[in-house]
Amino acid sequence: MTDSILSKAATMEIPINSNGDTRTAEDDSLEQGAQIGGSLDEIVGTLPVSMDLQQVMVSGPNLNETSIVSGGYGGAAEGIIPTSSIKDIRSKSRGITPSHSAASRIANQPGHYPAPSMHHSNSNPMMSEEATRGVAVEKFDSVKKWSINTYKCTKQMFSERFGRGTKTVDLELDAQIDVLRETKLKYERILRLARELTNHFYNMVQTQQALGDTFADLSQKSPELQDEFGYNAETQRLLCKNGETLLGAINFFVSSINTLVNKTMEDTLMTIKMYENARLEFDAYRADLEELSTGPRDAAAMVRIEMAQQQYQIHKDKYERLRSDVTIKIKFLDENKVKVMHKQLLLFHNAISAYFAGNQQQLEQTLRQFNVKLKPPGSDKPSWLEEQ
């Protein structure tokens, strides 16, 4: 009898009612939680098994560890559900996370390794969002600066066009720029005419070669005119050979002029274009500073004047640096142009003179003098015109 009382006190069972059920108000709540989260058996299967009867009798009853037997009195241990787990189920059914659940007690046991934290995965979207926001702000600032700069430059350009704005002028440098542009136009004309001469002369050499082959064929088929056809065939072949040599010299001349016009001069003109843009920006910010200086002198105006002064100094330094670059490039371009054209004009003159004089040795010597290499006879490579 005493053992029965102690057993009842230790397990804190609820007396069986008249229908043989052990239902109480807590069991009703448990069934409600099971209806929300799943069946009661599925919930019991996922919860940890409580301490056995002997541990309860030794350590004494604990309110947090008090269990309710789902079966009859003295049932198996599988039917024991900790009341703390019931509280967890109630909290889950209400959408509340319990502060002291069975999982937290298991995590505090020795030998248990906690699951990795999810803070890092949650922080990655935040970092990505901050990075995206930073890129957007940077692009917005860039577009804003570009818009302000474009507005000021456009305003300055129209002011200069209609005679209302002042323009910074370097008379000596501007005269050199005008001469360079005019020179480039003339050299482009030389280049175009030299290419036309090369095309026409190439067609003439091909015609001479075909004519020489025809003469040679008729020399074999016309015994009565064999000598006459043979002389003309040999002459046309010699002219064709010298024509190919002259074509090599003219091709070298065209290539050098093309490099001078479309690379060296074009590079200098690109620097000149950058210099002119810098000059326009410099005058635009100079006019802006002058306009602010003539206005009121309150605190906000002084801040704007200071910022305008900084922008003016930045564009002034840029303008002076590019002006120096243009001066140096024009000087070097003039020196390079004289050297290149001296060599190419001498080559062109000697090659043309030797060809039309019929001096084959002088023609070949001219090409060796200027290191002009011709395509070896019998080469299968396409001609220079076919490569164009």
Report pLDDT digits (tens) over 48-103: 444 444 444 444 444 444 444 444 444 444 444 444 444 444 444 444 444 444 44
Contact between 363 and 242 under an 8 Å Cβ cutoff? The reply is: yes
Choice among 278-282, 284-288, 380-384 with the minimum mean pLDDT: 380-384
pLDDT, position 123: 53
Q: Which of 65-74, 210-219, 254-263 has the lowest mean pLDDT?
A: 65-74
Question: In the predicted model, is pLDDT for residue 257 greater than 90?
Answer: yes
Q: Give percent above pLDDT 70 in the chain.
A: 64
350 pLDDT tier (thresholds 50, 70, 90): very high
Give pLDDT, residue 113: 46
The predicted pLDDT at position 56 comes to 42
Which pLDDT value is given to residue 383? 54
| Phi, psi (degrees; rounded to nearest 5) at 197 | -60, -40
What average pLDDT score do residues 98-109 get?
A: 46
- Taking only the tens place, the pLDDT of each residue in 305-316 is 899 899 889 999
Task: Give the 3-state DSSP-derived string for the chain, with helices as H, strands as E and coil as C.
Answer: CHHHHHHHHHHCCCCCCCCCCCCCHHHHHHHHHHHHHCCHHHHHHHCCCCCCHHHHHHHCCCHHHCEEECCCCCCCHHHEEEHHHHHHHHHHHCCCCCCCCHHHHHHCCCCCCCCCCCHHHHHHHHHHHHHHHHHHHHHHHHHHHHHHHHHHHHHHHHHHHCCCCCCCCCHHHHHHHHHHHHHHHHHHHHHHHHHHHHHHHHHHHHHHHHHHHHHHHHHHHCHHHHHHHHHHHHHHHHHHHHHHHHHHHHHHHHHHHHHHHHHHHHHHHHHHHHHHHHHHHHHHHHHHHHHHHCCCCCHHHHHHHHHHHHHHHHHHHHHHHHHHHHHHHHHHHHHHHHHHHHHHHHHHHHHHHHHHHCCHHHHHHHHHHCCCCCCCCCCCCCCHHHHC
Report the C-alpha gap between 66 and 64 in whole angstroms. Answer: 6
Is pLDDT above 80 for 283?
yes
- Quick one: what percent of the chain has pLDDT higher than 90? 34
- Report pLDDT for 102: 44
Q: 352 falls in which pLDDT band (50, 70, 90)?
A: very high
pLDDT at 115 over 60: no
Residue 243 confidence (pLDDT): 92
Instruction: Between 352 and 92, name the one with better pLDDT.
Output: 352
Quick one: pLDDT at residue 376? 53
Q: For residue 331, what pLDDT is reported?
A: 94
Q: What is the pLDDT of residue 200?
A: 94
Instruction: Specify the pLDDT at position 360.
Output: 87
Confidence tier at 387 by pLDDT (50, 70, 90): low
pLDDT digits (tens, 9 = 90+) for 230-256: 999 998 999 999 999 999 999 999 999
Mean pLDDT of 264-280: 94
Query: What is the model's pTM?
Result: 0.58
Average pLDDT, the chain: 74
Mean pLDDT of 5-24: 45
Give the per-residue pLDDT at 30. 43
Of the ranges 139-153, 295-309, 350-364, which one carries the lowest mean pLDDT score? 139-153
